[in-house]
Amino acid sequence: MRNLAIIAHVDHGKTTLVDQMLRQSGVFRDNEHLVERVMDSNDLERERGITILAKNTAITYQDTLLNIVDTPGHADFSGEVERILKMVDGVLLVVDAFEGCMPQTKFVLRKALEQELKPVVVVNKIDRPMARPLEVVDEVLELFMELGANDEQINFPVVFASAIRGISTLDTEVEGTDFRPLFDTILETIPAPNVDEFAPLQWQASILDYNEFMGRIGIGRIARGKVQSGQTVVVLKADGTSVNQRISKLYGFQGLRRVEWAEAEAGDIVAIAGLGDLMVGDTVADVNFPEALPSLSIEEPSLQMTFSVNDSPFIGQDGQHVTSRKLRSRLYAELERDVSLRVEDTESPDSLLVSGRGELHLSILIETMRREGYEMQVSKPRVIFRRNEAGELLEPIEHLVIDVPEEYVGTVMEKLGSRRAEMVQMVPSDSNTRLEFYVPARGLIGFRNELLSATRGYGIMHHTYHGHEPYRGDIPERQNGVLVASEAGTSTAYAISSAEERGTLFIGPGAEIYEGMVIGENSRDQDLVVNVCREKHMSNVRSATKDDTVRLKTPRTLSLEEALEYLAEDELCEITPHFVRIRKRVLKKSDREKAQKMSSQRV
């Protein structure tokens, strides 16, 4: 048996690699129809082309069972990666043959080395134009040394591969034909589990799943002993409490399927059902030897938002779940499977404070909930500050890597300078220049769209958590004001054509509008109230141009992530199953003016 995880930076080809391993191991029938990225079973994963949830599979090669876990590559889902590494004895570190080592490469490798796991480096996409596989191997070696790898870890084997073509080789001069070199390297390098199958049972939940018939299902590796279906065990909680439970179902893995087992032993990765309110990190042990495994340490969240009940005039028109009770129960249910998430009550019964690892982490949760029929309002994302023992204010700092054409380097440096970024490296290449910065996490809120605009779409950015450092000072907020609807109704082409002179519109004709809704961006720095529901009055005056067609600009449609980044402190994002709207917290203009006057008087 071999237990291994596949780790890498986002979009370096982990899931495609698993696809080919499954295909070439004979898991699927010859006539079986397969989709690409078969492990990305979640709708959002398939739409966005990223892995959000860690998933495991099992294949057999030369009479050896390979338990493989595909992990997320995005920094916002790093909590998944940390848990998975507790289940395995080795890792495949996948690195793009062109991009080389990226921020998340460093993060996942650091976690693997801390667990003293055996690494196999897979330089993927060797058939990519301008690939530089040998240079990338040198970069990986430097990264191992930088992270303090021991002598055994530094002597890592290297496999060159093209996952999309299903080929691998140990020598770039030799054309590969299949994945045998990769499979053989795994068997030679990654050790079998070093466990005691005769000791009392210990098993820890690393992943949670849910089934409406069996309830919560925990997935993890048996650290020692054996476990049987129907066995009575003790579940040891993180808070020190314990409860006896009976295992109703025990599952192993075969390909992408769960297979019911009667018994499993130390080293096996299994799924267990029937353990009540099992949580990630809980230990299942022998009732006569209730010994807990070390708890899973997860990095703290760095970003938070306020989720509240939708109280706009359009409440209940689009979604099914609109009450605070529904919203609260759904958010607390999410805690059962997402250990990186935090949910706290606030002074208002209609609002909850939700903390996560980043914008993508929280936006995926919001997108999932809206597809389930929920309506809600969320605030502008805010970073979470800490204080050290001396009382000094600390803020989260991100390691930012930007690849950009040379002519835009000055522009990018200027924009990040105002966001309190510190440049640590600039590496020119034939096609792009790579810039590396340490930048406050709050400086990256809304920066991705600004980067794309400033570089005409050529800028590519990646970032990962670096640490907490002393507060770096104020960062400028959004420069432009917004256009705010002055009354409710349906937008008309006549009114929109006039409003276009004031700025960029987010809506087109025929949109349902309410007072206080943000319908565009002002070209100036202050907010402006406009009427986009005004109709052209009929008159008996004939006009030579009366038959001219009104030509409107294409509205700027904001995605969910763009809307969250765009928000100001006095705005909320209203989210329903089919609509994403930005609105003012206080809808009426007169009430906003009173609040502003009172605020200025207090100052």
pLDDT over 90 for what percent of the chain? 30
Q: Which amino acid is at 352?
A: L
Crossing angle of helices 447-454 and 409-417, in 10° steps, is 150
Among 230, 131, 180, 197, which residue's Cα sits nearest to residue 430? 131
pLDDT digits (tens, 9 = 90+) for 426-441: 988 777 888 999 999 8
Helices (H), 206-358: 324-334
DSSP secondary-structure letter at 500? Answer: T
Assign 40 a pLDDT band (cuts: 50, 70, 90).
Answer: very low
Taking alpha carbons only, the member of 231, 220, 225, 206 closest to residue 266 is 225
User: Bridge partners of 505?
Assistant: 520
11 assigned binding-site residue: yes
Provide the residue type at 244 as one letter. N
pLDDT reported for residue 31: 43
Assign domain 480-539+548-557 one CATH number from 2.60.120.260, 1.10.1530.10, 2.40.50.250, 3.40.1160.10. Answer: 2.40.50.250
User: 565-601: string of b/e by CB count within 10 Å (b at 16+)?
Assistant: bbbbeebbbbbbeeebbbbbeebebeebeeeeeeeee
User: Which residue's entry shows tokens 């109704």?
Assistant: 489
CATH T-level assignment (fold) for domain 386-470: Alpha-Beta Plaits (3.30.70)
Name the 3-class secondary structure at 515: coil
Residue 411 pLDDT > 50: yes
Give the residue-averaged pLDDT of 382-399: 89
Instruction: State residue 73's pLDDT score.
Output: 58
pLDDT at 158 over 90: yes
Give the pLDDT of residue 51.
47
Give tens-digit pLDDT for 359-372.
Answer: 888 888 999 899 99
CB 373 within 8 A of CB 577: yes
Strand order of the β-sheet with 118-124 is: 55-61, 64-70, 2-8, 90-96, 118-124, 158-162, 167-169
Give the pLDDT of residue 541.
58
Number of helical H runs and strand E runs in the chain? 14, 36
What b-and-e string marks burial along 391-419, b requiring 16 or more CB atoms within 10 Å of the CB? eeeebbbbbbbbbbeeebbeebbebbeeb
Strands (E), 179-312: 202-204, 207-211, 215-224, 226-228, 232-236, 242-246, 249-254, 257-260, 263-265, 269-273, 283-285, 303-308
pLDDT at 30: 47
Same fold, 299-382+558-585 and 386-470: yes
Quick one: pLDDT at residue 140? 92
| 47-85 tens-digit pLDDT | 544 444 556 788 888 888 888 887 775 555 666 677 778
Instruction: Kindly state the DSSP code that residue 550 receives in the 8-state scheme.
Output: P
Give the pLDDT score at 480: 85
Say which range, 51-55, 404-408, 418-422, has the weakest mean pLDDT: 51-55
Q: Can you read off the two tokens belonging to residue 547?
A: 């038959």
Tell which residue, 396, 381, 362, 419, has the closest CA to residue 466: 396
What's residue 529's pLDDT?
A: 93
Tens-digit pLDDT profile for residues 267-323: 888 989 888 888 888 899 999 998 988 877 666 788 899 999 999 999 989 889 999
Q: Annotation-wise, does 321 bind a ligand?
A: no
Q: Is 13 annotated as a binding residue?
A: yes
* Residue 595 DSSP symbol: H
Would you say 12 is a known binding-site residue?
A: yes
pTM surpassing 0.95? Answer: no
- For residue 102, give the 3-state DSSP assignment: coil
Q: For the purposes of burial, counting CB atoms within 10 Å of the CB of 93, is it exposed (0-12), middle (13-18) or buried (19 or more)?
A: buried
Q: What is the mean pLDDT of residues 6-27?
A: 79
Chain segment 534-572, per-residue pLDDT in tens = 887 766 555 545 545 667 888 888 888 889 888 888 999
Q: How far apart are CA 373 and CA 582, in angstroms?
A: 19
Is there a binding annotation on residue 536? no
Pick from 331, 280, 322, 336: which is nearest to 304 by CA?
Answer: 331
At residue 1, the pLDDT reads 87
106 labelled binding-site residue? no
Assess whether pLDDT exceeds 70 at residue 46: no
Spatial separation of the C-alpha atoms in residues 197 and 412, rounded to whole Å: 57
Write down the mean pLDDT value for the chain. Answer: 84
Domain ranges of the chain: 2-189, 202-285, 299-382+558-585, 386-470, 480-539+548-557
Which tens digits make up the pLDDT trace of 179-229?
A: 899 999 999 999 998 888 889 999 998 877 776 777 788 888 999 999 999
Structure tokens belonging to residue 327? 């919203």
| pLDDT 10s digits, 439-460 | 998 888 878 878 888 888 888 8
Q: Please name the CATH architecture into which domain 2-189 falls.
A: 3-Layer(aba) Sandwich (3.40)
User: Would you tell me the crossing angle of helices 133-146 and 103-114 to the nearest 10 degrees?
Assistant: 50
Task: Report the C-alpha gap between 354 and 362 in whole angstroms.
Answer: 8
DSSP code for 50: -
Per-residue burial over 476-495, b = 16 or more CB atoms within 10 Å of its CB, e = otherwise? eebebbbbbbbeebebbbeb
Find out whether 58 and 87 touch, Cβ atoms under 8 Å: no
Given this model, what pLDDT does residue 35 score?
41
Q: What is the mean pLDDT of residues 232-260?
A: 86
N-terminal to C-terminal alpha carbon distance within the chain: 68
Reduce the DSSP state of residue 446 to 3 states and report it: coil
Which residues lie below 8 Å from residue 407, measured CB to CB, with a gap of 6+? none
Q: Where does residue 78 rank: exposed (0-12), middle (13-18), buried (19+ CB within 10 A)? A: buried
Rounded CA gap, 465 and 111, in Å? 13
Q: Which residues contact 472 (CB under 8 A, 6 or more apart)?
A: 395, 420, 440
User: 124 labelled as ligand-binding?
Assistant: yes
Is residue 370 within 8 Å of 577, Cβ to Cβ? yes
Residue 121 carries which DSSP code? E
Token pair for 350: 């209609």
127 is in an annotated binding site: yes
Residues sharing a CB contact under 8 Å with residue 441, sequence separation 6 or more, in sequence order: 302, 303, 358, 383, 395, 396, 397, 398, 465
Q: Which CATH number fits domain 202-285: 2.60.40.1180, 3.40.50.720, 2.40.30.10, 2.60.120.10?
A: 2.40.30.10
> Per-residue pLDDT for 516 more than 90?
yes
pLDDT at position 45 = 45
pLDDT score for 121: 93
Was 489 annotated as part of a binding site? no
Cα 362 to chain centroid distance, Å, stands at: 8
CA–CA gap between residue 70 and residue 68 (Å, rounded): 7
Say which CATH topology domain 299-382+558-585 has: Alpha-Beta Plaits (3.30.70)
553 belongs to an annotated ligand binding site: no
